[in-house]
Chains A and B, each alone.
Chain A
Amino acid sequence: MRRKTDSGLLFEGSDWDFGTIQRIYDAVEDVALSELKLDVYPNQIEVITAEQMLDAYASTGMPLLYRHWSFGKHFAAHDAVYRKGFMGLAYEIVINSNPCVSYIMEGNTATMQTLVIAHAAFGHNHFFKNNHLFRQWTDADGILDYLAFAKAYVARCEERYGQAAVERLLDAAHALMSHGVHRYPRKKRPDLRSEERRERERHLHQEQTYNDLWKTIPGKRRGQSQKPDADRLRSLLELPQENLLYFLEKTAPRLKPWQREILRLVRHIGQYFYPQRQTKVMNEGCATYCHYAIMTSLHNNGRISDGSFLEFLQSHTNVVRQPEFDDPHYGNINPYALGFAMMRDIERVCRHPTDEDRIWFPDIAGYGDSLAVLRDVWANYRDESFILQFLSPRLMREWRMFHLVDDPEEKTLRVGAIHNDQGYRRVRQSLARHHDMAWLDPDIQVVDVDLAGDRRLELHHNVLHGVLLQKDDVDQVLQHLADLWGYGVVLKEIDPTGAILREHSARARAPFS
């Protein structure tokens, strides 16, 4: 169906109304679906004020969340900075839900609204719907309902058990939130039918391979059965376990059902955000690439004026700016900049490959249809694998990347690798590792419980590169952990050789019960 406003400028000047937004949306949708062939959830666009944007910031971008003082603290901090004018607000917030909710600020100009709709309602939306991590770990259909349930549940608990009790529990749960995610799909418990089939197969196998000779081998003596028992108990508790919140929810002996439920809420919300943490570069890169492509197409077709396009380019350039390391503004690698640059680079490799590209990317060099390649990339990679696979030598040269090593054994810092033939792979590998959550988050696991003795919980931190945990934080978190567990807790920091570098312990002072 062709719309009657299918040509000519979408808007003039910077003012907009709801009709304008609808026109903009239709035009952007047209480009996104027909040219970029994006596959998106239905969109819902909500216009909000700056104050509401601050509200949304405070609750980690979610439209509704249970009540807790820490959100108030973040609100106060953002509010103070914003009022002083140190910080602008984001132009949009987008929520991984179905329908996909995008918040746009009322203060944006019409050009900015176009940019924001292209960026959030199509770029991010496509990524949410197609990336395998989001498909596997998040439930876009249910998240808003789940948040509403969580909010109501926490409110009911507050009413019933008192605000103080719930607040203390949430404090403890939040302290462990970073270690409350499943990184792998858990083993499914076998159902009865497959159990029966397995039993039949095993029986058949035994019959087929039956040999009288085995009977002559002496059996185990009775006294030896001690150790397997301990192993069995550990496996019953699913140890070792790196998901601390899950472990407590399932096995902490003294928690009440409502307390377990709240731990579960916090864990689920943490799990929901886990894919976002793993795909920051790709997610923002995808959205930035899409808005750039869409805006350029709109401009080429005469739907937005030259002035608007320049306004767009100005804010786009701000977003993808990457200061160099010696610049006072250098903060870190800008995920928008890196993602956008890499995706543009993939486009270049597909269309106009050099000899070098043919060696490094034989699969995609000269493939032609860069969008098909990008859609496949968006669907199947995360930051770490994306960088490891697609950061090209040319881009490393352009950005003049180098690898700096700070080894406490050496007196000085050392440049480990630079953008040359010997260095490309090492630079790329380190950069990928810096985007790998499994590498960034400390590896902490529950390894044992002294079930026969004082029920003390033992955790290990497998120390990487000799970087220990932040001492004062550990003590506080362990206190929370001990209170949840109800008994003592010990955390050993162990280096790869097995030596214990440091040991923290806590006793339950005010156990939850």
Chain B
Amino acid sequence: MYIIDRRLNAGGKSLPNRQRFLRRAKALVQRAVADKAAARGITDIDSAAEVAIPRNGIGEPRLRRASAGGFRDYVLPGNKKFLEGDTLERPPPGAGRGSEAGEGEGEDDFRFVLTRDEFLELFLDDLDLPNLAKRRVLSDESFGMRRAGYAVTGSPANLALTRTIRNSLARRVAMKRPSAAELNRLEDEIAGLAAGLPETAPEIAELRERLERLNRRTRRIPYIDPIDLRYRRFEPVPRPVTQAVMFCLMDVSGSMTEHMKDLAKRFYMLLYVFLKHRYRRVDIVFVRHTHEAKEVDEETFFNSPETGGTLVSSALLEMKRIVGERYSPSNWNIYAAQASDGDNSASDRGACTALLRDSILPVCQHFAYLEVGADDEGPRIGFAPHATTLWQTYEALAQAGSDIAMRKVNHRSEIYPVFRDLFRRRGPPIAQSAL
């Protein structure tokens, strides 16, 4: 009998099959993921999720008997009062007889749990960060080990057996250590002679002496000497770490309602999850502004009320300052998303344009402007679409060739489509290794 401990075997034996299953059911799963994402609130998107997909999409058909119709009989335990010939009302169809449990694959959906990574992979599938002239830095915080030749010292676990034995063999050959075969041959020869000759014959004595000499030599020259030992050497190498910073700019003046802030928040969450999925390290900077801008923490950013006028250029100026101080564009991928209801004082227009065109856009990987509207504000029939001040400003910039993405959102359900639209993969996919 053998007892084998398999617990240390690499887990995830089913992983390739699971991946195949996900790939096969991809269209279905993706629809389920989108539904799930819409239903569950953006804040906890960054976790595992149970999804359900229709069974018929991934069925495994078999030739089997129908679960209804025809003559059937059952043998059941637990008779209490029936006698032969008693009759019973048929249970209404669909009441589900126990005996048919074997065919219980009803119309239920097929439910299973996606891990956080799988969920995000599907959720963010075919989205990509635009304009990726990726900037990378060798940050000092991540090191990996890499094989780097052999060393004469090391821990036993790293002993390089082949190399050690090779050295030992070379040394044994060079030092003329007698081989086991040679010794055996000599012993056989002695035994052969001893059978035919008296014990004291000079031939035997001579052979004995030679054997003794060889044995002494064998003892003096070890099979493996510390000098033969070689260990695999490992060297720490810095791993490139791509890092990104995300600027969240938001207008918090009185005209922004809670609904608008909620829309903005959802958009930021998506962007955060997305960046987090693509970059190992993501910093977030929250900048809110009225007629003056301030860097704040998340809590204050979304929640604390503020009153005042609206001066967008103040936020842009603040962002420029922070970039200059902390996030050098050569080391960081910079993303900015601005949310506003579109109000801006008319006098600020020139300053905004200049700031964006000259200092912000050149250092940003991507600048998205999200104009949030009231819930009931649909496209009004008969009215020309009204463009806000800020929209006009940015539109002029975009038309002049600057890279700025603009969308308008009124309702919560539009966030995800708009987000997908902004980040849809356009070019050929970017190699994952760059991440």
Chain A interface (Cβ < 8 Å from any Cβ of B): 18, 21-22, 25, 29, 42-49, 51-52, 54-55, 58-59, 67-73, 75-77, 79-80, 83, 99, 103, 106, 163, 167, 171, 174-179, 322-327, 330-333, 399-408, 410-420, 422-423, 427, 430-431, 434, 442, 444, 463, 465-474, 476-477, 480
Contact A418 B78 (CB under 8 A): no
Given A59-B14, A79-B112, are A415 and B85 neighbors across the interface (CB < 8 Å)? yes
Closest partner residue, chain A, to B112 (CB atom): A76
CA distance A21 to B63 in the complex (A): 45
Contact B7 A332 (CB under 8 A): no
B175 to A: closest C-beta gap in Å: 44
Closest partner residue, chain A, to B7 (CB atom): A49
Contact B58 A413 (CB under 8 A): no
Please indicate the chain B residues that have their CB under 8 angstroms from the CB of A45 in the complex.
1-4
B383 to A: closest C-beta gap in Å: 51
28 contacts between A and B (CB under 8 A): A43-B1, A47-B5, A52-B7, A52-B13, A54-B14, A55-B13, A67-B17, A71-B14, A72-B14, A72-B16, A75-B17, A75-B21, A83-B113, A103-B6, A171-B60, A175-B60, A324-B76, A326-B78, A332-B99, A400-B78, A403-B75, A407-B71, A408-B69, A415-B84, A418-B83, A419-B79, A444-B63, A465-B70
Please indicate the chain A residues that have their CB under 8 angstroms from the CB of B5 in the complex.
18, 46-47
Closest partner residue, chain A, to B61 (CB atom): A476
CA distance A51 to B22 in the complex (A): 19
Closest partner residue, chain A, to B91 (CB atom): A413
B60 to A: closest C-beta gap in Å: 6
Q: Which of B22, B23, B77, B85 contacts A400 (CB under 8 A)?
A: B77
Q: Which of A163, A171, A401, A467 contacts B76 (CB under 8 A)?
A: A401
Contact B87 A413 (CB under 8 A): yes
CA distance A31 to B14 in the complex (A): 38
Closest partner residue, chain A, to B60 (CB atom): A70
CA distance A175 to B60 in the complex (A): 7
CA distance A177 to B63 in the complex (A): 9
Q: Which of B17, B72, B111 contacts A80 (CB under 8 A)?
A: B111
Cβ-based interface call for B157 (8 A):
no
Please indicate the chain B residues that have their CB under 8 angstroms from the CB of A430 in the complex.
73, 75
Q: Which of B1, B17, B61 contacts A44 (CB under 8 A)?
A: B1
Closest partner residue, chain B, to A480 (CB atom): B61
Contact B70 A466 (CB under 8 A): yes
List 11 other contacts, CB 8 Å, given A29-B1, A404-B75: A52-B7, A54-B14, A72-B16, A401-B75, A401-B76, A406-B72, A418-B83, A466-B69, A468-B65, A468-B66, A470-B64
Please indicate the chain B residues that have their CB under 8 angstroms from the CB of A331 in the complex.
98, 101
Please indicate the chain A residues that have their CB under 8 angstroms from the CB of B85 in the complex.
414-415
Interface centre among B65, B85, B89, B110 (most CB of A within 10 A): B65
CA distance A275 to B34 in the complex (A): 45
Contact A73 B11 (CB under 8 A): no
CA distance A84 to B208 in the complex (A): 78
Closest 5 CB pairs of A and B: A324-B78, A72-B21, A72-B17, A467-B70, A76-B112
Cβ-based interface call for B350 (8 A):
no
CA distance A167 to B61 in the complex (A): 15
Please indicate the chain B residues that have their CB under 8 angstroms from the CB of A413 in the complex.
87-90
A372 to B: closest C-beta gap in Å: 26
Q: Which of A58, A401, A415 contacts B17 (CB under 8 A)?
A: A58
Please indicate the chain B residues that have their CB under 8 angstroms from the CB of A68 in the complex.
17, 20
Q: Which of A80, A178, A416, A444 contacts B73 (CB under 8 A)?
A: A416
**Total CB contacts across the A-B interface at under 8 A:** 252
Interface of chain A: mostly helix, strand, loop or mixed: mixed
Contact B66 A470 (CB under 8 A): yes
Contact B84 A416 (CB under 8 A): yes
Interface residues of B in 84-129 (CB under 8 A from A): 84-90, 98-99, 101-102, 110-113
CA distance A246 to B65 in the complex (A): 22
Q: Which of A42, A80, A472, A474 contacts B112 (CB under 8 A)?
A: A80
Please indicate the chain B residues that have their CB under 8 angstroms from the CB of A411 in the complex.
90
Q: Which of A330, A415, A469 contacts B82 (CB under 8 A)?
A: A415
Interface residues of B in 253-308 (CB under 8 A from A): none
Cβ-based interface call for B9 (8 A):
yes
CA distance A372 to B13 in the complex (A): 43
CA distance A167 to B25 in the complex (A): 14
B321 to A: closest C-beta gap in Å: 49
Contact A332 B3 (CB under 8 A): no
Closest partner residue, chain A, to B62 (CB atom): A178
CA distance A174 to B62 in the complex (A): 8
Contact B72 A174 (CB under 8 A): no
Contact B112 A77 (CB under 8 A): yes
Q: Which of B25, B63, B86, B87 contacts A477 (CB under 8 A)?
A: B63
Closest partner residue, chain B, to A105 (CB atom): B7
Cβ-based interface call for B220 (8 A):
no
Q: Which of A18, A333, A406, A469 contacts B66 (CB under 8 A)?
A: A469
Contact B87 A412 (CB under 8 A): yes
Contact B3 A18 (CB under 8 A): yes
Contact A427 B75 (CB under 8 A): yes
Given A51-B11, A404-B73, A477-B62, are A72 and B20 neighbors across the interface (CB < 8 Å)? yes
Contact A408 B73 (CB under 8 A): no
Contact B17 A414 (CB under 8 A): no
A238 to B: closest C-beta gap in Å: 20
Given A400-B78, A407-B71, are A178 and B102 neighbors across the interface (CB < 8 Å)? no
CA distance A469 to B63 in the complex (A): 7
Please indicate the chain A residues that have their CB under 8 angstroms from the CB of B87 in the complex.
410, 412-415
B265 to A: closest C-beta gap in Å: 31
A478 to B: closest C-beta gap in Å: 9
Please indicate the chain A residues that have their CB under 8 angstroms from the CB of B58 in the complex.
73
Contact A469 B64 (CB under 8 A): yes
Given A44-B2, A79-B112, A466-B69, are A402 and B21 neighbors across the interface (CB < 8 Å)? no
Closest partner residue, chain A, to B1 (CB atom): A43
Please indicate the chain B residues that have their CB under 8 angstroms from the CB of A422 in the complex.
84
Cβ-based interface call for B210 (8 A):
no
Cβ-based interface call for B196 (8 A):
no
Closest partner residue, chain A, to B48 (CB atom): A83
CA distance A465 to B101 in the complex (A): 20
Contact A402 B75 (CB under 8 A): yes
